Amino acid sequence: MKLKRVMLHAGFDMQYTLVGLAVVQPVSYDTYMIIKLRTVLVRKRSKYQNIEIVELPEYGRALVLDGLVQSTEIDEHIYHESLVHPAMITHPEPRDVLIIGGGEGATLREALKHNTVQEAVMVDIDEDVVNLSKEYLKNHHQGAFNDKRAKVIIEDGKKFIEKTDKKFDIIILDLTDPYASEPAQDLYTEQFYQKVYEKLRDDGIMVTQAGSSFYYEQTYEKVLNSIKKVFPIIKEYNVWIPSFGYACNFIIGSKKYNPEKLTAEEVEQRLSSRGVKTKFYSGRTHIALMNLPVYRKSLGAYTTS
């Protein structure tokens, strides 16, 4: 059952995601978060999803897709730095980066901070999300779309990966949640991860956001198991994102390098030599991220071979 249907069951229609002066956001099937709303800046139905850009007193500007907060001005750095840097830093010299999704441009912004990057290709299915983000979410992308190393393509990520001849060092999947989004469903499957594997160089690394393992354990395990079937080195980690109301999970699939082997000093050294300035991620944060809470059975990075 998808969140959209749960909202209908609960008496909400997508039209009523913004109720009066609040955003009512489903955190799980049975838990909702009510966030005070200042203004609605944009409301549009694109070919793929309902897009809302809103202003929230506590979190600033936020992108909301199909009733779910994707990122907010105030805490987006926690999400985007956690998504991008552990994989990028684990690779000794990431030159070619592919981002699938990431319409706000903040994932692109973080990837481009690494001065090793020669080209970052961003493929998002929804032109409306990208164009509205360019206009309304300037603090998110901070001009990343204008960087001469950035190449933005409007296309389904699945189609792109099937037809591209290019090989990448890093592939970052910044998609809508595996349990909530129609257009992203096929990009959380073993078949898709196999294609991603083929488009990575021999020492390439993939990372995906994977929603909440706490509230959607079954879906999460399915995604994790699909990645395990394809990649020899897996590392899962999670980070609390205030505006999501849960700790967001991320999964790295790597061909050669193990993110858990880096020391805090090595992380700091790589950040500094690449000129990467962060607000959340550091050498010590990397080590903390690599240590999961006890209730996650699969502690640590592990190899599948």
Q: Assess 177 for contact with ligand SAM (CB under 6 A).
A: yes
Q: Assess 81 for contact with ligand SAM (CB under 6 A).
A: no
Among residues 84, 97, 125, 207, the one that binds ligand SAM under rule CB under 6 A:
125
HEC letters along 152-186: EEECCHHHHHHHCCCCEEEEEEECCCCCCCCCCHH
What CA–CA distance (Å, rounded) separates 98 from 29?
Answer: 32
Q: Any idea which residues carry the catalytic annotation?
A: 174
Nearer to ligand SAM, 158 or 228 (CB): 158
Among residues 73, 96, 104, 169, the one that binds ligand SAM under rule CB under 6 A:
104
What CA–CA distance (Å, rounded) separates 206 from 145?
Answer: 22
Q: Map tokens 């502690």 to a residue.
A: 299
Among residues 67, 86, 94, 183, the one that binds ligand SAM under rule CB under 6 A:
183
How far apart, in Å, are the Cα atoms of 223 and each of 4, 204, 209? 20, 19, 10
The burial class, CB within 10 Å (0-12 / 13-18 / 19+), for 277 is exposed
Q: Going by DSSP bridges, is the β-strand pair 119-124/150-154 parallel, antiparallel, or unpaired?
A: parallel
Element at 5 (helix H, strand E) = helix 3-9
Which range of residues in 33-41, 173-181, 232-240, 297-305 is near ligand SAM by CB under 6 A? 173-181
Nearer to ligand SAM, 244 or 257 (CB): 244
φ and ψ at 274, to 5 degrees? -95, 0
Q: Map tokens 């204008």 to a residue.
A: 146
Q: Assess 174 for contact with ligand SAM (CB under 6 A).
A: yes
x/- contact string, 201-220, with ligand SAM (CB under 6 A)?
Answer: --------x-----------
Footprint on residues 127-166 left by ligand SAM (CB under 6 A): 129, 156-158
Nearer to ligand SAM, 111 or 233 (CB): 111
Minimum distance of ligand SAM from residue 216's CB (angstroms): 12
Q: Which residues bind ligand SAM (CB under 6 A)?
A: 63, 70-71, 79, 100-104, 123-126, 129, 156-158, 174-177, 181, 183-184, 187, 209
